[in-house]
Amino acid sequence: MKKIIILCLVLVSFSFIACQNVALQKVHKDNVALQKACNKGNMKSCVALGDSYNIGVKKDRFKAIKLYKKACDGRLTNACNYLGFLYESGKGVGIDKNKAKEFYGKACDKGDRDGCKYYKGLNKASSSFSSANRIMIVTTITNSDELKGLQYERGKDVKQDYLKASKYFQKACNQGDTDACISLGNLYSDGKGVKQSYSKANKIWKKACDGGNMHACDNLENSNSSGHPAETNYFKESKIWKKDCDNNIVKACYKLGILYDEGRGVRQNITKAKELYGKVCDKGYELGCKHYKILNEASSSFKKSRSNILKKACDGGNIKSCTSLGILYELGKGVKQNYYKASMLFKKACNRNDMGACFLLGSSYWDGKGVRRDYFKANQLFKKTCDKSNMSACAALGVSYEFGHGFKQNKTKAKELYKKACDNGLKLGCKNYLRLNNAGY
């Protein structure tokens, strides 16, 4: 009996050593591939390799620091923050708060809010950095729950499982890890592993944004501009936009016009809305002209409803009127909301080469409103309109490439499209371009 037990123990020990060797061989193989990519200038690979040496199976913090420095010099702000943490905590190097402050400062100078926050914490505390800030840094940079969440989200070394990923992200987010909050918000936005809920996604991103994570603020703003707004204080916004409009900020006047048009935060006043739309139209703001035209037609001497006027014009071959009528059905303004009718009107106008209608039809396919959700068709329409200089379509196409909706995920291509939109004056394109650029793409 003893011999059998000894034999079993030997076999178990041998199996454990064999498995450990296999794991080490895989790590070595991955590290070789990352090193090659890093040598070719891929800074994200340098950081990934640094992470492997910093918190992986085979630790070598000296190598990790060298790789983080290379990536930090290559304008990857998270690498600068990692270096700051290592020097601040004395892991792999002697504690050097001045060095830590220097690297946090580099990240901050490149627009990284976390870097600014850590720099400010060290600057205030001077020689004794507060324990609260130290905990925040540890959870932000090396939170094991976030790492596990990322593993399950991406299917890296484990079977992909979005539900498990969401649970780990939730745990890390509750601990104050704002990056984990972003990942959790993304899952709610995409409906992966959890029931899709834009309101929950916005709430989680707002928490991270309030915690100083600028990427969360970008996600929140993008969600609002994509028609998935968080709860909004329209009364407060009306005051802000009125002040900006008085200072001749065109977009603020347009937004104020919408509030008067829809009676949000202010008493509905179509005359005032029309006046504001006319003001921005005179300054070349296309959406203002479109809304002004709609209101102008609605208040014509015939006193017919806006939808009847547009329907008559659309039936008479005025394609722009078909698009405008589609917008009314989509928003439920003056007619009963009907996404199907809206999509059919957009399709009719798109077939007659109204690029605005093609973009709106693409948005219908993207959101699954009035038609079955189809990212492939949406992307075809976004590409068609982007090629015809519709910058909102270029930005939308960029989102598809960035998150792999209807395409194989390609952040480099997404960055190119965001840059194109930015170069042609779309603010959202600039923000998305900077976000990817700061992330090292």
- 124-128, 293-297, 339-343: which has the highest mean pLDDT? 339-343
Assess if residue 355 is contained within a domain. Answer: no
Residue 404 belongs to a domain: yes
What's the domain count of the chain? 3
The residue-averaged pLDDT of 142-147 equals 63
Domain for residue 405, yes or no?
A: yes
Whether the Cβ atoms of residue 265 and residue 259 lie closer than 8 Å to each other: yes
Pick the more confident residue, 25 or 177.
177
Range of the domain at 183: 144-225
270: left (phi over 0), alpha (psi -120 to 50) or beta: alpha
Would the pTM count as exceeding 0.85? Answer: no
Show which of 178, 195, 225 is a domain's final residue: 225
Domain boundary among 203, 225, 247: 225
37: which 2 tokens? 């990519």
pLDDT tens sequence across 206-228:
888 777 666 677 677 666 545 55
Q: Is residue 61 domain-resident?
A: yes
Q: What is the pLDDT of residues 68-83, one digit of tens each?
A: 889 888 777 878 888 8
| Cβ burial, residue 343 (10 Å; 0-12/13-18/19+) | buried
Query: Which one has a higher pLDDT value, 89 or 67?
Result: 67
Mean pLDDT score of the chain = 77
Quick check: 259 pLDDT over 90? no
Any domain includes 296: no
pLDDT at 215: 67
For 308, the token pair is 């009847």
Percent of the chain with pLDDT over 90: 12
Question: Which of the residue ranges 15-24, 124-133, 173-182 would you say has the lowest mean pLDDT?
Answer: 124-133
Residues 91 and 148 both lie in one domain: no
Q: How confident is the model at residue 341 (pLDDT cuts 50, 70, 90)?
A: very high
Of the ranges 88-102, 228-242, 260-274, 423-437, the best mean pLDDT one? 423-437
Residue at 172 is within a domain: yes
pLDDT tens digits, one per residue of 375-386: 899 999 999 999
Residue where one domain finishes, among candidates 138, 158, 175 = 138
Q: What is the pLDDT of residue 364?
A: 92
Query: What is the largest distance, in Å, between two alpha-carbon atoms of the chain?
Result: 104
Stated as kind and residue range, the H or E segment containing 332 is none
CB 352 within 8 A of CB 318: no
Cα angle value 365/369/375 (rounded, 5°): 20
In a domain, residue 351? The reply is no
Most confidently modeled of 60-74, 126-140, 365-379?
A: 365-379
Q: How wide is the angle at C-alpha 78 spanned by C-alphas 29 and 91, nearest 5°?
A: 75
Q: Identify whether the C-beta of residue 51 lies closer than 8 Å to the C-beta of residue 64.
A: yes
Residue 278 resides in a domain: no
The two structure tokens encoding residue 437: 């650029």
Distance between CA atoms of residues 299 and 293, nearest Å: 10
Mean pLDDT of 272-282: 88
Q: Compute the distance between CA of residue 323 and CA of residue 329 in angstroms, rounded to an integer.
A: 10
Q: What is the pLDDT of residues 148-195, one digit of tens each?
A: 787 787 766 677 788 888 998 898 888 888 878 988 988 888 777 788
* Domain harbouring 439, CATH code: 1.25.40.10
Task: Encode pLDDT of 44-55 as tens digits.
Answer: 778 888 877 776
